[in-house]
Chains A and B, each alone.
Chain A
């Protein structure tokens, strides 16, 4: 099980939680698990960057990136507020 940090803009889709657990051995599986349980996330994840232990998965193996036990995943969409 991996903990996924949810940014404030996406929290309404996960019942207001700041962090939710998810299962899967790759980023893709974990995101699938999330959208299966929280259908409201579907479509929104496309605009969020995904960081595995501080690294953008676009610089790793994207959705194929393996996720070890205890890793930290951060979802990060752009914020415009100033």
Chain B
């Protein structure tokens, strides 16, 4: 028969241990290992080593592969006093983890030495349930979900594209959504603008969207801007601080204004546009890839710029394109995957096909190029009625709108 003490000594002889001083050195070193906390939830709630990942000892075997897929990643595992973490280190070695050490005196010794601790942030039980399908994905997990809850995403337009993207972003638990829209819900909107409903006819779209989104997910705060984006208000609205902007505008003046502002405010824009059966999606990430003006230096003439109101759109098309935009926005907020930077995704609903083309930064781009010629906002006004340009920037009519 083996006693607990004998078993612990046996296990400790088979693993590597570090003391608090060495662990503290590792924490602040460049090769900073993963600190893995195997204590119970109530212990974790009292305080943790900063940046630690939490997997209670009882769930270690079942969860660690998903949460730490790289078996060669250096790991410092800790518990309260170094016993449970010794067993955990042994288990991790059995699972094929190659570089695992146990913190010998545990969190107790760490704290006694005066090394830094942090208050853990955690999802509450309801959130754990609501986001359980996210928590199961290693790329999201609790850390990612907390990141989403801290994220701020601004939606330009609560129309065809803004409807699906705002619904999915709210459902995903993006903590703050901003909505800029000065329009009211109209009967012709309801064939595709699924964030609104028949009983909202005549209501401002921003308010209608806020009601729907906050009812879908009470974790989300929706900040509404019941105004049209202009050179007068854009700095105020963007200046509230956003991680990502989702462009679902329905007109060129807003899209160009937003582009120039996002370059100057250094905020990535997930661009989507639709017409009849076709859609385009890309991500304009300032400094990393092209901007909208690299792609299309200036707006086309009005006869080549039909809106959905003039040209029509299949109701489900914005559902596809807006959902892709929401997906890109979530990737940017989480910092995962390969955002559509430098690629324009084209969706043809009739053909049932996706294709993409490469977008590159234009060194001669008037906004993000080497020698920018546009340095102030331009309000392209009454665009749909005629090629008149109101210039807030001293850009000539000819230059802005040939």
Contact = CB atoms under 8 A, between A and B. Distances in A.
A82 B180 CA distance: 13
Contacts of A8: 275-278, 311
Interface string B142-175: 0000000000000001011110000000000000
B275 A79 contact: yes
Given A8-B276, A58-B362, A82 B300 contact: no
B274 A81 contact: yes
B255 A80 contact: yes
B275 A9 contact: yes
Interface in A52-75: 54-56, 58-59, 74
Given A55-B358, A59-B360, A78 B307 contact: no
Interface string B307-318: 110010100001
Contact of A80 (B252, B277, B360): B252
B302 to A, nearest CB: 10
B180 to A, nearest CB: 12
B299 A56 contact: no
Nearest to A76: B357
B356 A49 contact: no
B278 A82 contact: no
Contacts of A18: 350-351
Interface string A34-51: 000000000010010101
Contact of A81 (B162, B275, B299, B351): B275
21 contacts: A8-B311, A9-B275, A18-B350, A49-B295, A51-B357, A54-B355, A54-B356, A54-B357, A55-B357, A59-B360, A77-B296, A78-B252, A78-B295, A78-B299, A79-B278, A80-B255, A81-B273, A81-B311, A82-B160, A82-B247, A82-B250
Contacts of B307: 80-81
A24 interface: no
A74 B251 CA distance: 23
Q: What are the nearest 7 A-B pairs in CB distance?
A: A47-B300, A78-B296, A79-B273, A82-B250, A81-B308, A82-B248, A51-B357
B305 interface: yes
Among A7, A44, A80, residue most surrounded by chain B Cβ atoms (within 10 Å): A80
Contacts, number: 88
Contacts of B360: 56, 59
Contacts of B398: none
Contacts of A9: 275, 304, 306, 311
A74 to B, nearest CB: 6
Interface of A: 7-9, 18, 44, 47, 49, 51, 54-56, 58-59, 74, 76-82
Contacts of B318: 82
A3 to B, nearest CB: 13
Interface of B: 157, 159-162, 247-252, 255, 272-278, 280, 295-296, 299-301, 304-308, 311, 313, 318, 344, 346, 350-351, 355-360, 362
B152 to A, nearest CB: 21
A21 B16 CA distance: 70
Contact of A82 (B249, B305, B346, B350): B249
A46 to B, nearest CB: 9
A82 B358 contact: no
Contacts of A47: 296, 300-301, 304
Given A44-B304, A82-B249, 5 more contacts: A9-B306, A54-B356, A78-B296, A81-B313, A82-B161
Nearest to A58: B362
B368 to A, nearest CB: 15
Nearest to A52: B357
Contacts of B313: 81
A82 B299 contact: no
A56 B358 CA distance: 7
B272 A82 contact: yes
B280 A79 contact: yes
B357 A80 contact: no
A58 B359 CA distance: 10
